[in-house]
Structure 1
Amino acid sequence: MMAQKLLGAFTVSLLGSKCTSNFVFRAATVFTSSRSMSSGKKMVNGVELFYDSRGNGDHALVCIAGAMGTTKSDFAPQLDYFGSREGLRVVGFDPRGYGNSRPPKRHFSGTSSFESDARDAKGLMDALNVKKFSVLGWSDGGISGMILAALFPNSIRSLVIWGANSYVSKEDVECYEAIRDLSKWSQKMREPLEQEYGKEGLHELWNGWCDMIKDVQQSDGNICNHMLSNITCPTLILHGMKDPMVPNFHPDHLLENIKGSVRHNFPDGKHNIHLRYSEEFNKIVEDFVRKH
């Protein structure tokens, strides 16, 4: 029963809306009376990253996706909302090895993939001529968001994270191992990801991710704990109090160790609060980032 609950919450939170198919995009820009939209690929740190940019405001937000996620699957409500708000611009991208940022294959090795995504987010914003921006990071993207804020403090206006952790506990590994076997996932849960990556590709990605997390825990458990004191930007920690993937002790730890951070809870929320409660979530985030 516990494994089924974990599986359901995890898969729904990963998918959100239908994943994009893997085809080649060429950069295109559409201008309306108050905003612009562009998508395409940019060469960043030796890899072509697919990105989706909405709006033309001076305050830019970059969204960093979770495990196996894409900008469309993970942030569709945020792209639509923030891209239409006066003074804001939102940029999402498919992390290397995911979605339309393939090739290359996703590479899992210790915690290096989290830092790689952080540096790619910074590189993409540089390529888009955005020098200072706010960060929205979900799950794995929240980890990369913390690393990004720690590595490039002068570039980050504010940081918003949810479903994220700075270390891996034994409890975390037990949670992920309970949902490792893809054959136990329902067809509805598996199908969109299989359409994106193929059955073998999805199996390889998911096992690679689970192995990485297990290896980190068996080492010293540290992902970015040592960087938390280097985060100096205003930070908002959002949390679904019924999140089966990220127990409450993780946001408790982040709130205690990121100086000046604030927290907002969704009492009935699980891992995908930005999708399940998108209207409330977006307004809370907008209020926070506009202050900074």
Structure 2
Amino acid sequence: MAVAVARCCSSRRASLRFRTLLGSVQRPEPVGFANQRTSVTSAKVAVNGVQLHYQRTGTGDHALLLLPGVLGSSQTDFGPQLKSLNKARFTVVAWDPRGYGRSIPPNRDFPPDFFQRDAKDAIDLMQALNFKRFSLLGWSDGGITALVAAGKYTPLIRKLVVWGANSYVTEEDLKLYNDVRDVAKWSEKMRKPMEDMYGMEYLAKTWDAWVNGIGQFARNTDGNICRHLLPTIVCPTLIVHGQKDAMVPSFHPEFLHRHIKGSRLHLMPEGKHNLHLRFPEEFNRLVEDFLL
């Protein structure tokens, strides 16, 4: 009985951690329908040897790039932002990193420099779209990519917003990731939308590879991913943290705040990992006020 209860509790904790990591996955709408309702255009462009998919909306002078989390895509991770961010003030671009969403092929892999590769892809995508300077909004893995981009491509970045991001990996982080490694143990509710998008084989293989990929940073000194780049970030920076985020302990945003000069830390008491999806009006208003 004790073993059965322990397994049940462990399964529930793993399910909660998975839900908070991936967020409330939104099924992508057909491109034509999205265009009619939100004036979002969808296209691909050749960047660094791959065809990167992106969605674009708005006509404002201030360009924004939205960077999704692990296994995320433009529409599944940023539907409320594509729909409701101020289209007169901003031109909003949301992308699918290589190996995610509609930027397949190639299949996704996680070499030691995958965040640097994503950062270069993101920067080169925006330049291919003729944006000379722009702001970055990055969630979770996309937040890490945004930190790397802001640190390495400083002259190109106007402002930076990150949430659910970390600049290093601890043993505590690894335990959270390993608890949800086996996709076969996910609930059907959590697994099905991602399985519909990727197929079970690709989903399982890619998720397992991500757990290994993020885990490799724990072998670095101080678990370093991009903590060495934080002092080089000079653009105005907003760090948002949900105080109920089960995947990113509060010491991570606090570390970012201490090491990015002049940054602002905003806490959302009811926010979880996917705070921009759960509280889109509050989040969008906060971001617009900061960017403007």
TM-score by length of 1: 0.91
Q: Map Cα deviations across residues 6-32 of structure 1 (whole Å, 9 max, x no partner).
A: 5324335525343449x9x89xxx799
* 2:82 aligned residue (67, 79, 89): 79
Q: In structure 2, do the counterparts of structure 1 residues 40 and 85 end up closer, same or farther at CA, with 3 Å as the change threshold?
A: closer
Map 1:158-173 to 2 at 5 A.
158-173=159-174
| Contiguous gaps of at least 5 residues in structure 1 | none
| Contiguous gaps of at least 5 residues in structure 2 | 1-8
**CA apart distance, 1:151:** 1.0
Map 1:39-188 to 2 at 5 A.
39-82=42-85, 84-110=86-112, 112-188=113-189
Q: Map Cα deviations across residues 96-123 of structure 1 (whole Å, 9 max, x no partner).
A: 000100000111112x111111111111
Amino acid at match of 1:267: P
Identity of aligned residues (%): 48
Q: Map Cα deviations across residues 222-258 of structure 1 (whole Å, 9 max, x no partner).
A: 1001100110000000001111110000001000000
Asked if 2 retains the 8 angstrom alpha-carbon contact of 1:133 and 1:157, the reply is yes
The 2-side partners of 1:2 and 1:17 are apart by 22
The 1-side partners of 2:281 and 2:16 are apart by 22
**CA apart distance, 1:162:** 0.2
Asked if 2 retains the 8 angstrom alpha-carbon contact of 1:135 and 1:158, the reply is yes
Give the secondary-structure state (helix, strand or coil) at the position aligned to 1:264: strand
* 1:7 aligned residue (5, 12, 15): 15
TM-score by length of 2: 0.91
> Alignment RMSD, CA only?
2.2
* 2:275 aligned residue (253, 273, 276): 273
Residues matched between the structures, number:
282
Report which of the two has the higher share of helix: 2
| Aligned twin of 1:250 | 252
**CA apart distance, 1:3:** 5.3
Amino acid at match of 1:70: S
Q: In structure 2, do the counterparts of structure 1 residues 120 and 187 end up closer, same or farther at CA, with 3 Å as the change threshold?
A: same
Map 1:180-219 to 2 at 5 A.
180-219=181-220
Asked if 2 retains the 8 angstrom alpha-carbon contact of 1:17 and 1:76, the reply is no
Asked if 1 retains the 8 angstrom alpha-carbon contact of 2:59 and 2:89, the reply is yes
The 2-side partners of 1:3 and 1:161 are apart by 30
Amino acid at match of 2:147: M
**CA apart distance, 1:215:** 1.8
Asked if 2 retains the 8 angstrom alpha-carbon contact of 1:235 and 1:261, the reply is yes
